[in-house]
Amino acid sequence: MNVLILNCGSSSVKYQLIDSTAKKKLAGGVVERIGMSGATLTNVRYDGDEIKIVGEIVDHTIAIEYILAMLLSRNHGVISDKSDIHAVGHRVVHGGETFSGSVLITKDVIRTLRENIELAPLHNPHNIRGIEACESNLPGIPQVGVFDTAFHQRMPKKAYLYGIPYSLYTQYKIRRYGFHGTSHRYVADRAAQMLSRDLSALRVITCHLGNGCSMAAVQGGVSVDTSMGFTPLEGLLMGTRSGDLDTSVILHLMAKEGLTINEATTLLNKHSGLQGISGISSDMREIVTEMNNGDKKATWAFEVFCYRVKKYVGAYAAAMGGVDALVFTGGIGENSADVRKACCEGLGFMGIEVDDALNTSADREKSISRPGSQAAVLVIPTNEELVIALDTVEIVEKLKKG
Ligand code: ADP
């Protein structure tokens, strides 16, 4: 089955066409600057053929028209007819408390997504736009929603309630939701495969370290706690987000500097994190380079980042009564041996020991723990698109069987 995977942002649509039977990516790319001048579509085919075109792409419907035209194009395409796309899988950011798994998109689901817009005002409207654009461009093709929040929906109440009046939870649904669920789920599954163990018997701590960063405690295949919260702002230090912060700090700053709600939101989401501390960059590669050049602020940014990960490893090991595997994924987790080493430094007392040679080897997917150490430390490239494709196929197959 060929599944078109879509990740619709405010001004971009990322896509992949996946042959789910062969687990092979046929093509993938991104439409950027939707609704702006100089909008582009960049497409890369499985054989490496790459093309970038500039067009007038005013909205998501046109963006999806461009994507389909590219997939069908004689010189750069991979299919000969629209009917070669058998299903569409959407990455949807927020499923609220309604969706604890992937679902076939129906009118009712779209209505619920609209109701959840308040929980994810920056994301869900674009996801809905993408779904509607597919309805008009690919009529009758089944669409499936795969939610970033779903994997964390089985967290116990003690992990998701905040220490504020309970009525605010019932009235406004203020609680921990957690994000990056598809990635945490994929790498936890893959960790069990790599260790030839049953996931139901494992305590896995997963670290998704990319531009956004989050960790999850996965016990017996269930996410029992995670570091992102009501929004993706909580938890680890990130490229430009603060992560955990005494909430009084922001109230204090709003009073001192007369910040509006929007300004405070921008400060915490766009000017904090690695960027905020270092004053140099949100990109971990530049932070490491400048740290090696002796820059103090870059060093502090690196240290705060890694120390925060380490604290969560301790917390999640405590939550699960131990840890069998610690997994690194995401752009930083997959690529930075320096970060992995610093996050695990001094954790030998809990059976986490990293082997320097394995940590710096060129393999993409690997075990980096010292042979014989109690807990496995693994590096696993995430593959959210594959999870979305496989979930989509499962739901569409069920639908066919009636
Ligand atoms: P997103 O969260 O947007 O999907 P990624 O998972 O691709 O992002 O991660 C992007 C981050 O990965 C950037 O901060 C970049 O610094 C980091 N990164 C990529 N390669 C390396 C590397 N070799 N060393 C350190 N950090 C890296």
CA atoms within 13 A on the CB side of 351: 12
Cα 284 to middle of ligand 1, angstroms: 7
Which atom of ligand 1 is closest in space to residue 208's alpha carbon? 6
| Residue 231 CA to ligand 1 centre (angstroms) | 21
Q: Which one of 93, 179, 211 would you pick to mutate in the ligand 1 pocket, going by the greatest count of ligand atoms within 8 A of its CB?
A: 211
Q: How high is the pLDDT of residue 116? A: 84
Please tell me the distance from the alpha carbon of residue 5 to that of residue 25, in angstroms, as a whole number: 10
Distance, CA 124 to ligand 1 centroid (Å)? 24
> What local confidence, expressed as pLDDT, does residue 22 receive?
93
212 lines ligand 1 (CB under 6 A): yes
Catalytic positions, please? 148
pLDDT for res 165: 98
User: Does the beta carbon of 332 sit less than 6 angstroms from any atom of ligand 1?
Assistant: yes
Model pTM score: 0.95
Q: What's the distance, Cα to Cα, between the start and end of the chain in Å?
A: 18
The response to whether residue 331 sits with its C-beta less than 6 Å from ligand 1 reads yes
Residue with tokens 């609680």: 175
Measure 288 CA to ligand 1 centroid, in angstroms.
12
Query: At a CB cut-off of 8 Å and minimum separation 6, what does 256 contact?
Result: none
Ligand 1 atom with the smallest distance to the CA of 212 is: 2
Read off the tokens for 190: 């893959």
Centroid of chain to Cα 246: 25
The residue contributing the CA closest to ligand 1 atom 19 is: 331
User: Are 93 and 385 within 8 A, CB to CB?
Assistant: no
CA–CA gap between residue 337 and residue 327 (Å, rounded): 13
Domain span(s) for CATH 3.30.420.40 in the chain: 2-147, 197-384
> Which fold does the domain 2-147 belong to in CATH?
Nucleotidyltransferase; domain 5 (3.30.420)
What's the pLDDT at 120? Answer: 79
Q: What's residue 236's pLDDT?
A: 98
CB atoms within 10 A of CB 249: 11
Mutational pocket test of ligand 1: of 237, 336, 338, 384, the residue with most ligand atoms within 8 Å of the beta carbon = 336
Residue type, 357: A
Q: What pLDDT is attached to residue 97?
A: 94
Residue 232 Cβ < 6 Å to ligand 1 = no
Predicted pLDDT of residue 365: 98
Question: Which residue out of 7, 16, 332, 334 has the highest number of ligand 1 atoms within 8 Å of its CB and is therefore the one to mutate?
Answer: 332
CATH of the domain spanning 197-384: 3.30.420.40
| Cα separation, 200 vs 221, whole angstroms | 5
- Residues in the chain where the model's pLDDT stays below 50: none
